[in-house]
Amino acid sequence: MRVIGLAFRMKQRLSLSLYNAPLPSMSMVTVQADKMLSAHLYIPARIAISYKSFKGLPGYGEVSAGFGVQTGYEAGDAVQAFADVQLGANVQGVILRAAVGLDYALSEGLALRASIAQTYGEERFRPTSITQGLTSRFSLLNY
């Protein structure tokens, strides 16, 4: 049996720069599913979108997947730390994203999530994002 987790980040603030010139910040909605490999290792798959225009386009989006590590979760533990690295794409091309953060348990199946991430992309695209949202712990049976 394997476990899958799902994280909904209601708000993700993205500070953008292109060719080292700052661009207006934007808010994004992000959904990430984590495939647990063990108590400490997981594979994240992430989709993030914004309806705010970006470089003449009607919106902005990212898709990525990668590899993550986390502290073990035990019932009763309030805090869980994590870090992941993801490779993906946005409207400009290939991106590499690294993130670190904390989950604070509200209940057995729900936690507040906060993280900071740096994305590296083509054309010196270097957004820094600060994420706040909710994480739901649940499992799907997989034989």
| CATH code for position 131 | 2.40.160.20
Query: Is residue 141 domain-resident?
Result: no
Long-range contact pairs involving 70-77 (C-beta distance under 8 Å, separation at least 24): 70/40, 70/41, 70/42, 71/40, 72/39, 72/40, 73/39, 73/137, 75/108, 77/105
Amino acid letter for position 36: M
DSSP 37: S
CB-CB contact of 136 with 109 (8 Å): yes
Asked if the model's pLDDT at residue 62 lies above 60, the reply is yes
Residue 143 has pLDDT above 80, yes or no: no
Residue 33: predicted pLDDT: 86
How many domains is the chain built from?
Answer: 1
In a domain, residue 130? The reply is: yes
Average pLDDT over residues 81-85: 97
pLDDT confidence bin for 58, thresholds 50/70/90: confident
Mean pLDDT of 67-82: 87
Residue 36 lies in a domain: yes
Between CA 73 and CA 143 the distance in angstroms is 23
In a domain, 80, yes or no: yes
Domain presence at residue 112? yes
Tell me: pLDDT of 102 over 90: yes
Instruction: Tell me whether residue 61 is in a domain.
Output: yes
% residues pLDDT > 70 (the chain): 78
pLDDT: which is higher, 135 or 4: 135
d(CA 42, CA 67): 6
Query: Looking at residues 37-66, what average pLDDT do you find?
Result: 88
- Domain containing 49: what range? 4-136
142 part of a folded domain: no
Residue 128 lies in a domain: yes
Report the mean per-residue pLDDT for the chain.
Answer: 82
